[in-house]
Structure 1
Amino acid sequence: MQQQRRKLMMGLGLGLMSRRPLAAPQSRPLLRVLAWPGYAEPEVIKSFEQSSGASVELTLIDSDLDLWQKMNAKQGANFDVFAVNTAELQRYIGQGLVAPIERALIPNLALQLPRFRQAAAIPGLNAGQDVLGVPFAFAEMGLIYDRRQLQKAPDSIAALWDPGLSRRVVAYNGGTHNFSLAAQSLNLPVPFRLSDKDWAPAVDRLIALRRNAAGFYTQPEESVALFKSRQAALMFANFGRQQLLLLKAAGVDAAYVIPKEGALAWLDCWVISLAAQQNSPLAHAWINHLLGESASQLLSSRQGLGNTTQETPDYPAGDKLIWLQTVENEARRNHLWHRILSGDRAAKVLAP
């Protein structure tokens, strides 16, 4: 679901590295960490090793599928702690790969911003009374517009359907998120759970988006080329602020806004492997360390991501964010979107 958003932002110069090259001395405890590039910077690892007396073995992943496959090997016994987004976490819980978080062992939870302290209010973070993850990194999917064409910032998702912007809108080529956008524009209460009666209006809405759009992209670089070549005025930023930076670098007078309906947003959490209970105290210490000031600052300054302990100008606390959740039927969303993009009429799109 989310792997493409990371490739440009965090993969440069890091994608070829999978593990730290030197094995840890056997005389020291070993913590095995599985994470995205940029989540555990070298100086962060070094300071943790110095403070804990342990060695860290870092394994990097490049997609949600890669993470799933690595954690399923030997039922997660190869790793002590890993990073996963809330939309994916429930399937790890269902597979019996996740241990509950002992909040008392993570005093830096007190440093987190208010929106991240209430675990019960974050969908996908809990199983019964247990908290299964600690929020760490996030980014949202806002709107980007060309200030030379639009003097007033768009304030609603509905702008993607504005007939006044016909053929000047660039949108994302993906069924999962596009059906959530359609649900937002229809004021449905939960954009990730379409009921039987919601599918037809959502399909109609996405057919209207196809007709209004100048084109659809799958990669950040492609979105910039499309935005410029079609002289677009507005874009749905599936990859968030990294697309804003790319557009500015390409000479576009671009600006970024969060629509009033709220922006779809992903939230990555640190999670402890159930199969590695002997290292649970060390894993909790790692999470506590990663919530510290230095690691949080590096996450935002180097990776352009929001961290959960510090408000930044790019990620103010007042933004309305809608955390991604597992959708009701991802395969159906993508199948219907393919039909919509191919130019089918509503009746044919929904035909069995």
Structure 2
Amino acid sequence: MIGAAALGSAILSGLLPFLIALVLCTGFGATTPAVAADKVLRVLAWPGYADPDVVKEFEARYDAKVEVTLVDSDEALWAQVHSKDTPPFDVLAANTAEIRRYAEANLLAPLDLASLPNTKKQLPRFRALGSIDGLTSAGKVYAIPFTYSSMGLIYDRRQIPVAPRSMLELWNPRYRGKVLDFNSAQHNFSFTALALGYPHPFQLDAAQMRAVAHKLVDLRRNLLTYYTLPEEATAFFIQHKAALMFGNYGTQQVELLRRAGADVGYVIPDEGALAWLDCWSMTRAASDKPLALAWINYMLEPAVSALLTQRQGLANTLTEPAEGSANAHIVWIGPVEDIDRREKLWVRIVSGDRSERF
């Protein structure tokens, strides 16, 4: 004789295959095709370009998941793109010199401007893509301007009441142990060449390269340390009472320092300052090109671009900056003569190699 509990168990056991089949056929349960999980956008960017709330809004609007990877240097960006340990990225943010490098390496896909209607809201000089070196090739567009800043000199007003006139002040012996420098081969060689008066800071010959290397070795005497991220630089500057800093992130760093209570000034030296223009590009490896284009277009929405200025102190490409620098000597960064050579020399400089060995 079968008890009630046993009978119920037998009935359920017999019905189980039927119930499973019913679930599969009607589309309920864990086997339901997951639309959002299948739409993943992998973004490679700099701090402040893709804040969590900005990402969340995009995910909700396009029913997709966004995975953001942040970098702190051009070298790190290049390494991430070539990494075999992570899935390919769909979109990336890089300066114009790097964009040309990526395009020449056949890593970028041409952009369909018809899918980027927000470009029509940009300032005229940023809509003239053909006039910006590195963004176009053979009539095709590979990048859209997003944000920019000069790379000037940041100084502590309490220690330096009169604004410095030259980037060479970084080498002034009075600031021994009070200087911060950005950890990057590309920009250090270029800004030092500019400070030394070389007319083509991105195209140095062998003698000029050696002279710049010697100068960067000399700079170590004044260094507190090298930094990578702007937040890191802010902490070093305040905690260790730095006097001067090469502002790789420009006005973004000024904004962070002032919010942290530092009394800092910002100046474009008489010899000029490097300036970067960061752009969004789509990679050839993009798995969902319409979604990648949607991201670039979304980044150019007025509310999103405005956050660059409100939160980061960076200029955007839709509105004129509040504080113009019309008379300043700005040198937009360009491709350099030998990236590998600069990086190898920089490793030796940072590691403490002696000047006479260069």
How far apart, CA to CA, are the structure 2 residues paired with 1:161 and 1:122? Answer: 33
Q: Equivalent of 1:349, from 347, 352, 357?
A: 357
Displacement after TM superposition at 1:193 (Å): 1.8
How far apart, CA to CA, are the structure 1 residues paired with 2:66 and 2:231? Answer: 29
How far apart, CA to CA, are the structure 1 residues paired with 2:238 and 2:55? Answer: 41
1:309-340 CA-to-partner distances (Å, cap 9, x unmatched) read 12333676766543434433334334434555
Aligned to 2:41: 32
Secondary structure of 1:61 counterpart: strand
Are positions 1:200 and 2:213 aligned together?
Answer: no
Aligned to 2:299: 290
Secondary structure of 2:119 counterpart: helix
How far apart, CA to CA, are the structure 1 residues paired with 2:279 and 2:180? Answer: 28
Displacement after TM superposition at 1:282 (Å): 4.8
Q: Equivalent of 2:160, from 150, 153, 160?
A: 150
The one-letter code matched in structure 2 to 1:57 is K
Are positions 1:332 and 2:344 aligned together?
Answer: no
Following TM superposition, the consecutive aligned residue runs of length 4 or more in structure 1 with deviations greater than 6 angstroms are none
Confirm or deny: 8 A CA contact 2:175 2:243 kept in the other structure: no
The one-letter code matched in structure 1 to 2:43 is L
Q: Percent identity?
A: 43
Q: Equivalent of 2:126, from 106, 116, 130?
A: 116
Aligned to 2:21: none
1:129-155 CA-to-partner distances (Å, cap 9, x unmatched) read 322000113343221112223332123
Number of equivalent positions = 320
The 5 A counterparts of 1:259-270 are: 259-270=269-280
The 5 A counterparts of 1:250-329 are: 252-276=262-286, 279-313=288-322, 320-329=329-338
Displacement after TM superposition at 1:38 (Å): 4.2
How far apart, CA to CA, are the structure 1 residues paired with 2:332 and 2:68? Answer: 24
Length-normalised TM-score, structure 1: 0.72
Aligned to 1:57: 65
The one-letter code matched in structure 2 to 1:272 is M
1:64-93 CA-to-partner distances (Å, cap 9, x unmatched) read 67755665589x995544333333323432
Displacement after TM superposition at 1:58 (Å): 0.8
Displacement after TM superposition at 1:197 (Å): 3.2
How far apart, CA to CA, are the structure 1 residues paired with 2:108 and 2:205? Answer: 30
Length-normalised TM-score, structure 2: 0.71
Aligned to 2:93: 83
Aligned to 1:179: 189
Change (3 A) 1:323 1:105: same
Confirm or deny: 8 A CA contact 2:286 2:292 kept in the other structure: no
How far apart, CA to CA, are the structure 2 residues paired with 1:78 and 1:230? Answer: 40
The 5 A counterparts of 1:211-226 are: 211=221, 213-219=222-228, 223=233
- Aligned-residue Cα RMSD (Å) equals 3.9
How far apart, CA to CA, are the structure 2 residues paired with 1:162 and 1:152? Answer: 15
How far apart, CA to CA, are the structure 2 residues paired with 1:336 and 1:79? Answer: 29
Confirm or deny: 8 A CA contact 2:178 2:241 kept in the other structure: no
Displacement after TM superposition at 1:254 (Å): 1.5
Confirm or deny: 8 A CA contact 1:122 1:323 kept in the other structure: no
* Runs of 5+ consecutive residues of structure 2 not aligned to the other structure: 1-31
Displacement after TM superposition at 1:171 (Å): 3.8
How far apart, CA to CA, are the structure 1 residues paired with 2:36 and 2:227? Answer: 48
Structure number with larger C-alpha Rg:
2
Change (3 A) 1:232 1:292: closer
How far apart, CA to CA, are the structure 1 residues paired with 2:92 and 2:349? Answer: 37
